[in-house]
Chains A and B, each alone.
Chain A
Amino acid sequence: MELLGGYMGKILRVDLTAKKISEEKLDGGTLAKYIGGTGLGAEILYQEVPPGVEWDDPRNCLIMASGPLAGTRFDGSGTFSVVTKGPMTNLAGASQANGFLGAYLKMAGFDAIVIQGRSPDLVYLYVHDGKAELRDARSLAGKDTWETEEAILSELGLKRNGSVYSIGPAGENLVRFAAIVGDKGHVVAHNGMGAVMGAKRLKAVVAKRGDSKIAVKDPEKLVELNNKLFEESKNLMGGILYKYGTGGGLSSGAQAGWLPIKNYTTNIFPEHEKINGQYLRTHFEVKPAPCFACRIHHVHSIRVTEGPYAGFEGEEPEYEGLAGMGSQIGVADAGSIVFLSNLADRLGMDVNESSWVTGWVMECYEKGIFTPKELDGLEMKWGNVEAVKAMLQKIAKREGFGAVLAEGVKRASERVGKGSVEMAVYSLKGASPRGHDHRGMGRWGEMLDTCLSNTSTIEATFGPGYPPQLGVPPVADPFSPQEVSTVNAKINGWRQFEDCLGVCRFCTPNALLTVECVNAVTGWNLSISDAMTIGRRIINQLRVFNFRHGLHTDVEGPSVRYGSTPVDGPCQGKAIRPNWEYMKQNYYSLMGWDQKTGKPLPETLRALGLEELIKDL
């Protein structure tokens, strides 16, 4: 198929072991089938990482892929996906970050980078002007992600025309939930992507904004459609995201029982209005720090103006940072939350897993499972910010008890025992959820999604909302096992399609307009139905990958605490656990998966153009 617009048509291949860099032409047929981003990454992962290759094996691939809308005038089009086999689940992982790299990679001449092998020494990859080079990063060893970004931009003489995504000490030390952090505040967070980079001895990937032109089939149409989408995005959820960022929804979570509070031990947190987005935007000094081409600019930089961290400057935390380093660990001082959230980013760790593991330690400490001596002298009481600060640093360096916690909450609790496994919040695949209490109102679907997805995080859902153009009626009863599991299956595919495009999800509130934008850029003629098929193709392909790599349906569920029943608050007594098997079976059935084994049925794979995968199951 001829590529008319949206693609550079090239993949950059990097073999770190041999220090060899090459490029490969992308064929239109693959792009039509998988689009880009997560889809393209999933196809490469499937083809090039066979069963038996573990996450830290040099043969594991780390794929960074933009999409057809990246780098165009579409709002928020600096996004890219990272796809790999991740250490938290030792199964497929796919995670996205916004910022600039997705756009700059294309402007440097490439749609994606495929990295394999392991470098003998710490290096970074610099992509620019249609070529790439590996550079010595030994002087960057131990530096945090912000220091690394500043050092590399200075070394290369770049400023805003360079995008750096790096690992911090956590990634270098193979902390299982290490993240890749870039553009001062954007994070490829889930399933330990930073640990995979660390295992490859790759400190950073840098893309320079170059002169390569991104062809757009119908530029005027794209602008017209994108302006309509922008108006919808701006007014999405009453404009709360536009005005207050993702933290603007935090108090809704407290009132509807989906704000995580002290490791799911309670659902009451009266201080929620002191730590929400509204508070930050009206009490601290903030200014927009938008991603590439974004007019929504929900991302802000921040300066704390009160409390013990007055004067601290960094990135305004997203909702998950506020919840994770706030209510989840009993911290009610907004400035301290800003500090801790930024610390996790700078150390290069997923703020979600960091907060679950910290909250678990605090609950264990409260219940006498740990003494301060066992915790290297730290008094891990709820809300003890200084102890959390010290423990996060220990985790990143794998020092003392930090080495236990560096394995993530599932493995740490299994090692400690003493009844602590029952207190740990995680999906049985090994990763922990996003920063919500999924037992709360409107979040049951997200728990089901987190536990049944390929990537152990959201795949079908994005909170309780989805574009009305998908034609699926809204959930009337958020605690109906039948309704929730049915809706999850019916909408599944759309979010995966979005993750192929190279744009931020906050800029795609209307499915029809989004698909029309893809058509305006590429010259294709996709429908929403086509988009759903593409999304479902990727989901099923990753599911086959996971089965080949050891997935069993026994692990498609929540841990004891994750699937427990709230003991107080608005959702007290609402029990998901007794409904779990029904929800899982209903979902399997509607997805076209075998009820017993959970494997995609041959007819399901055939209908998605994946008949060649049938033999692999």
Chain B
Amino acid sequence: MGKVDIKIYSWLSDSFPGRTLSHAALNESFREGESLRDLFSRLSSQCPPFGKVIFDCQTQRFYPHVNFIYKGKAADAIHDLDRKLEDGDEILFVSIYAGG
């Protein structure tokens, strides 16, 4: 067992409960050997905003407006999904932003 911190920023967090002005935070448990894909698939079904805005369980892809940052680094939205989770991991989801 371990825990990961997930932070969801900007408008991506609008539908998450308990969000602040800037973000929503989740602290999720995982089982030994679980991958990021396992975690995101589970969250997609358990937490409707996650499945609607962040990760599409059917296609196993992030929605096009999502930037995915894992352990403080820009992550590969396809290959990094199969990395095994580690206790204390930090995951950020940030919206892409056009214009400005």
Chain A interfacial positions (CB closer than 8 Å to B): 237-241, 246-253, 255-257, 273, 278, 282, 318-320, 436, 441-442, 462-466, 474-479, 505-506, 570-572, 574
Contacts and interface: CB of A to CB of B under 8 A. Distances in A.
A476 B61 contact: yes
A255 B96 contact: no
B10 A249 contact: yes
Interface string B57-70: 00001001101010
Interface string B65-91: 101010011101110000000000000
A238 B67 contact: no
A465 B67 CA distance: 12
Nearest to B63: A474
A249 B100 contact: yes
A37 B95 CA distance: 31
B97 A570 contact: no
Contacts of B21: 278, 282
Contacts of A464: 96-98
Contact of B96 (A257, A319, A442, A479): A442
B54 interface: no
Given A476-B78, A571-B73, 14 more contacts: A237-B11, A237-B95, A238-B10, A238-B11, A239-B11, A248-B10, A252-B9, A255-B9, A257-B74, A463-B98, A476-B77, A477-B77, A478-B74, A570-B69
Complex A-B, nearest 3 residue pairs according to Cβ-Cβ distance, in ascending order:
A238-B11, A465-B98, A249-B97
A319 B100 contact: yes
Q: How many interface residues does chain B have, given as a range? A: 20 to 34
Nearest to A272: B22
A246 B97 CA distance: 9
A318 B77 CA distance: 30
Interface of B: 9-12, 14, 21-22, 61, 64-65, 67, 69, 72-74, 76-78, 92, 94-100
Given A251-B9, A251-B10, A252-B94, A442 B99 contact: no
A257 B9 CA distance: 14
10 contacts: A237-B11, A238-B12, A249-B10, A249-B100, A256-B69, A441-B69, A462-B99, A463-B96, A474-B64, A477-B76
B49 to A, nearest CB: 11
Contacts of A257: 74
Most buried by A among B10, B11, B67, B99: B99
B73 A570 contact: yes
Contacts of A436: 100
A438 B13 CA distance: 25
Contacts of A318: 100
Nearest to B53: A238
